[in-house]
Structure 1
Amino acid sequence: MTPAAAEAGAEPTPTTTAPTTAPTAAPTGRATFAALRVRNFRIYATGQAFANTGVWVQNIALDWLTLELTHSPAAVGIAMALQFLPILLFGMHGGMIADRYPKRTILIVTQLCSASVAATLAVLTTTGHVTVGAIYALALVAGFVIALDNPTRQAFVGEVVPPQHLRNAVALNAAVFQSTRLVGPALSSVLIGTVGPGWAFAVNALLYVGPTITLSSMRTAELQPPAAVPRARGQLRSALRYVADRPHVGWTIALVGVFGTFGLNFPVVLTAMASDTFDAGAGLYGTFNVVLAVGSIAGALLAGARSHSRLRLILLLGAGFGVAQTLAALAPNLGSFVVALVVMGVTNLAFQAIANSSVQLWVDHEYRGRVMGLYALVFMGGTPIGGPVVGWVTEHVGVRAGMALCGTVPLVAAVAVAGVLALQPVLARRRAAAAALAG
């Protein structure tokens, strides 16, 4: 298939060593949960359910604790940005390590490191010694763990399930993550309101035992690891050239980067919407996260039921998310705001799951860790830029202005990419016609 066809939205043909897409039969309820027939994936997903519940418990508590200590949405944005700064600097290096070493071993180590960060936060907070500086420092440490964990985790799914189940496994992983969003924020709100945020951090540290055990108990003989990529010079540059030669991959990653930088600053805008716009506390912020999760689960399951996708669908979902978040910023009351949050959840997770699985299916095994490192870099590494910007707009211009910014930028980006792709066949025909006349 020509690059022009891929850019126009057709499903690109995988390269010779890349996994093929799943069969194009009509989606069914059985297809929606196909990856769960793989024992190792069931074990892996169970461990992720524990870890992700703890992540939501900690995220809610950390956002609210930062806001309580500083009374500044911008400070929440800075704390969030520091978690993702290492990805901006070392995201592709994390993917390179994932290509070189056993991914399951790397993930066990990152789980233990994350548990240590959570335990440190718990001790500092419960003893009354927590400061904004300590929060910032631990957020930065957690960021280095994420820089290694995220690309490794995304590439590891391709070892747990066969290629025909990869798209479904990515979507189900997202559904598990969002399902825990129904439990984690509620549990965090209860802990904050009764025993304090320090115990929320302690619960997160304890829950990391789950994925450590499940990763250790997987049947290694049933995993499908690619051959390790030997150390060599220029491996990061070669991965960038690899992406540049595949426009459908490059455009998808670029759009994902815009989303990560500006579209997904929920901790900044939702804490401020709860406290300033609707005059409520941590309970309403937790409820907002639950509402987002309801829509997100639906979006992830819809994505998992699809046997194939096109770049055109990714652009459409991206634009839909931008419209939904812009409407949420303009919502006149709590009821309409909640409805907009549900739509945001559906379009956001469908976009993320389809974009993630498509990129993995479009690339060769030996490049997957580095390409997913680049994916993580642009998706999460832009937060050090977008988080403080959105926080500043939220604090100095207004909460609704900050949230509108988070919606309009992805919307404009999706429309712009669609416009560029639509023009390319026209320009190609013009160039061909001019060449024919010149000849």
Structure 2
Amino acid sequence: MTNVAHGSGRPGSFASLRNRNYRRFTIGQSTSVVGNWMQNIAIGWLTLELTHSGTVLGIVTGARYLPIVLFGAWGGLVVDRHDTRRLLLLTQICFGAQAALLTVLSWTHLLTLPLLIAFMLALGLTNVLDNPARQKLIGELVDPEHLSNAIAINSTFINTAKLAGPGIAGSVIATLGVAPCFALDTVSFLAVIVSLLRLRTAEMYPAEREDHAKGQIRAGLAYIRRTPELLYPMLMVYVTGILTWEFPVSLPLLTTSAFRAGPAGYGTAMAVMSVGGVLGGLVAVRRRRLGTRSLSVSAVIWGGLICAAAMAPSLPLALVALVFVGAASITFNSSAKTLMQVTAAPRMRGRVLSIWSIGWLGGTVVGGPAVGAIGATWGARGALFAGGLAAAGIGLAVLALSLRGGVPRHD
């Protein structure tokens, strides 16, 4: 079992916020996340309005992550070779331009399903560089002692931002339609662009850049394969990323089909999950040690809570369960990212995080349509329940290996 200490001594739970660069970036990114989740809610609702199909919703959601599956490992290598801050500036400008185009197409009623899928593919191409660069930059803003604390705080801030995004989106869609959501998302990217421009590069901790050579993507994969401290958490990330982390597909189906709620109901479901996410982030901030065994226990708990939400007889009870689902989701995700970042060698970190992105985000390419099809066949509750079983099952499997000594112990 891999145990990762959060640094020597017992620094405060929010010690990383004393770092000016880290504070600026996290606040800017959290502001952008509000707009991003408004966009996500609007896209999901617009797809259901156009098609009334859970399977098509899964396809549209999966299109965003297809480029990550195809090019994610290459994106991680690019991040390892180049200046992380400059790459992020480029991706944020691209995101802002894409959101502006989506706003125009939506307002002029020219947005069709094929155009929406094309837009999602363009978002995915930008994410190929954005995801590993954004995660890696955290390690360049704080000293190694505070890295795991910084990751947990970042997750907490982002989930606090998610509280506003879905709730605002639900109200805006119900009163004004989806186009204003896209417009507000466009404006939100200015916050993270400004924060990146204001970073003081002299106070950063840049990682050593990888030289250009052949076989470096294969070297990254081999590095994960021969490092059990990375391999077993990565296995859990892939299973849950494909079948469990499909809430943009399963929750619209649950709120619209099982409980007959409108866009405000979907927005509320996402908002209460974010409330739980904040609570889970606060737990992650205070954790002093992490390991493969504790991560597997988190997966089991998370899966059980998802199954409970799927079986809830009414929307209020489902919302209560989703608070705990949100907390468990962020506890698992934050712990997995912390293990990846702390364990990975700095010059390999971009590739490790890109492989993580392929599983956690790119898994939607397979998982989105699959969960949508499960919902079409066995109902909305079945779609959510399948994700819960997947998380609990892989957690139990890795836990069993750990208890038998199959997962090496490393303190």
User: Does 1:11 pair with 2:3?
Assistant: yes
The count of corresponding residues between Structure 1 and Structure 2 is: 409
Q: Is the 8 A contact 1:257 1:380 kept in 2?
A: no
Q: Is the 8 A contact 1:22 1:308 kept in 2?
A: no
Unaligned runs of 5+ in 2: none
* Corresponding residue of 1:131: 112
Deviations 1:244-270 (A, max 9, x none): 121121000110111111111111111
Task: Call closer, same or farther: CA 1:11–1:89 in 2, change over 3 Å.
Answer: same
Unaligned runs of 5+ in 1: 1-8, 13-19, 428-439
Task: Call closer, same or farther: CA 1:426–1:204 in 2, change over 3 Å.
Answer: closer
* Corresponding residue of 1:153: 134
Counting only pairs closer than 5 Å after superposition, residues 276-425 of structure 1 correspond to structure 2 as 276-424=257-405
Deviations 1:12-51 (A, max 9, x none): 6xxxxxxx841253xxxx7221110100011001111221
**What's the Cα RMSD here?**
1.6
Among candidates 210, 230, 251, match of residue 232 of structure 2 = 251
Q: Is the 8 A contact 1:256 1:378 kept in 2?
A: yes
* Structure-2 separation of matches of 1:159 and 1:420: 34
* Corresponding residue of 2:79: 98
* Structure-2 separation of matches of 1:264 and 1:228: 32
Per-residue deviation, 1:289:
0.7
Deviations 1:44-64 (A, max 9, x none): 011112210111110111100
* Structure-2 separation of matches of 1:305 and 1:404: 30
* Corresponding residue of 1:237: 218
Normalised to the residue count of structure 2, the TM-score between the two structures is 0.97
Per-residue deviation, 1:425:
5.3
* Structure-1 separation of matches of 2:73 and 2:125: 12
* Structure-1 separation of matches of 2:49 and 2:283: 38
* Structure-2 separation of matches of 1:21 and 1:238: 28
* Corresponding residue of 1:66: 47
Per-residue deviation, 1:130:
0.7
Rg larger in structure: 1
Task: Call closer, same or farther: CA 1:383–1:425 in 2, change over 3 Å.
Answer: closer
Normalised to the residue count of structure 1, the TM-score between the two structures is 0.91
Deviations 1:327-357 (A, max 9, x none): 1111112232112101111111011111101
Q: Is the 8 A contact 1:167 1:307 kept in 2?
A: no
* Structure-2 separation of matches of 1:402 and 1:163: 40
* Corresponding residue of 1:22: 7
Counting only pairs closer than 5 Å after superposition, residues 256-267 of structure 1 correspond to structure 2 as 256-267=237-248
What is the letter of the counterpart of residue 8 of structure 2? P
* Structure-2 separation of matches of 1:351 and 1:215: 28
What is the letter of the counterpart of residue 382 of structure 1? G
* Structure-2 separation of matches of 1:183 and 1:129: 28
Partner secondary structure for residue 381 of structure 1: coil
Partner secondary structure for residue 64 of structure 2: helix
* Structure-2 separation of matches of 1:397 and 1:175: 34
* Corresponding residue of 2:24: 43
Percent identical pairs in the alignment equals 35
What is the letter of the counterpart of residue 11 of structure 1? N
Among candidates 225, 231, 235, match of residue 206 of structure 2 = 225
